Structure 1
């Protein structure tokens, strides 16, 4: 039996490798990282034995364009994880005509789930009617905070949520937001653009310290080419994703869910974050 060996020319082999690698990168950027969502869980303080703890979930930068399979799956994940409080940290929509989409998305979540939201820059840039937006949130058991603090009670624990207006598009006012603050077991500050964290920390006095700050906006870079990030939106500052510490205050920056400008993600997989506070 004669065996004939066929050799692929080196140049053709390299070209095929480049094509394959490019295809895999495009698959990851256009599909995998946009449609597969990380679930990042953190224990802020360890619950006592026999107590489940208070579960707070952050959902950021939805940039809703349609209710696709990814978002339907996301609502099922949220329902399964059963957070006590769902926090939306801005840029839920970026066009006025997408307000009905937001309503449809919120309708897919458990109606009895308490929700709270703040504005991002795109709610301003998209010229969205904020009164109409607040109404949609309200009809879905969600309170839109614009320089306000609200307090929620879950069993015997209270949690104060301070929500700021957006630094890039709006008029944030932390002192005004804290006027309605009352002493609580936990206190979380919501601020869409993380660049201004140091400014906020300086404005907090000893009686109104926060357990941590939640931000979004950066999309984790959205396109992160192995450490090289071509673009970060104004208002990101030195922050990209995950945990940071500003003096004694912790900050968590979510990579968010959606995309803006380009409908791709690379090296910045979509995420939701779940924080457990001691019971």
Structure 2
């Protein structure tokens, strides 16, 4: 008996710990929604603070009632405006539930970009491919484009509903939000993860006449961050990474699903390019691909950013 314990005790113990971790990741943490609060000093001096709610990577699947209720409850924060950084869908039938979940937030001024999962439905794939893509330097669906036979999501229904609510679409274009006495200029790109970004169409930096200019994109690829920063945008908002999704406690993320370093996989950081510096905020998002509905050491989130005047 002692020999059997010595032979099988450690492997069985590891298996039990692994099973418990998986049960926690699938059964609890993936639905343990959090609100992150951060302060970013990017406003001109003398300007009143602005509260910006960023939601990202909802990846809605029909029947996710708790997620819908949580998103609806965020309207109680009364933000000055909302920024949606894409990947709302993980189910072609999920549009009505996305709109129901975001309905209370769509009463506030807002802006949005789309991610690859708004355009194309997810496909069952080996999760280990993300690690292999990190090692090879390839990211995304075939590295740059949707796979042959991809499911097309009804993204135009989302676009039409967002536009009807007054949200500003920012796919390779510019837009403005008027907040009483404050005007916000926004510059956005379509998703770099599937190479739909066209920076040349929006290049030139912040617009004159606005009180603040922001940059918005779904996936924080370095070519995009470099371009926005070199053009002197004070703040870039992005999503896509899921914060790493499966992280190691006290170590962090293993992957970002793009060429951003893992140190900046979520939260606020700085980006340097062209002799300039921008703040970068990457949301860990509040959903997962429908085929990998797990999170570990990386709870789902939205972020309330309080923008304050720059310090001397």
- Can you list the C-alpha shifts for 1:32-70, whole angstroms capped at 9, x where unaligned? 3211122111222399xxx97211011010011025343
- Give the aligned partner of residue 268 of structure 2: 243
> When the two structures are superposed, what TM-score results if normalisation uses the length of structure 2?
0.73
- Can you list the C-alpha shifts for 1:165-213, whole angstroms capped at 9, x where unaligned? 1112242123423579443221111111112244323551xxxx32210
- Give the aligned partner of residue 4 of structure 1: none
CA distance in 1, matches of 2:166, 2:253: 37
1:255 aligns with 2:279: no
- Give the aligned partner of residue 200 of structure 1: 227
- Give the aligned partner of residue 106 of structure 1: 102
Selected match of 1:142 from 157, 161, 167: 167
CA distance in 1, matches of 2:302, 2:109: 17
- Can you list the C-alpha shifts for 1:4-28, whole angstroms capped at 9, x where unaligned? xxxxx98799789657644542343
2:192 is paired with a residue whose SS is coil
Change (3 A) 1:75 1:132: closer
RMSD of the TM alignment (CA)?
A: 3.2
Matching of residues 181-220 of structure 1 within 5 Å: 181-196=207-222, 197-201=224-228, 203-204=230-231, 209-220=232-243
**Greater Rg by CA:** 1
> When the two structures are superposed, what TM-score results if normalisation uses the length of structure 1?
0.80
Change (3 A) 1:158 1:240: same
CA distance in 2, matches of 1:69, 1:171: 32
- Give the aligned partner of residue 265 of structure 1: 295
Gaps of 5+ in 2: 122-151
> Which deviates more from structure 2 when the two are superposed, residues 55-64 or residues 145-154?
145-154
Matching of residues 110-121 of structure 1 within 5 Å: 110-121=105-116
1:194 is paired with a residue whose SS is coil
Gaps of 5+ in 1: 1-8
- Give the aligned partner of residue 222 of structure 1: 245
1:59 aligns with 2:55: yes
CA contact (8 A) 1:54 1:84 kept: yes
Change (3 A) 1:274 1:202: closer
Change (3 A) 1:230 1:45: closer
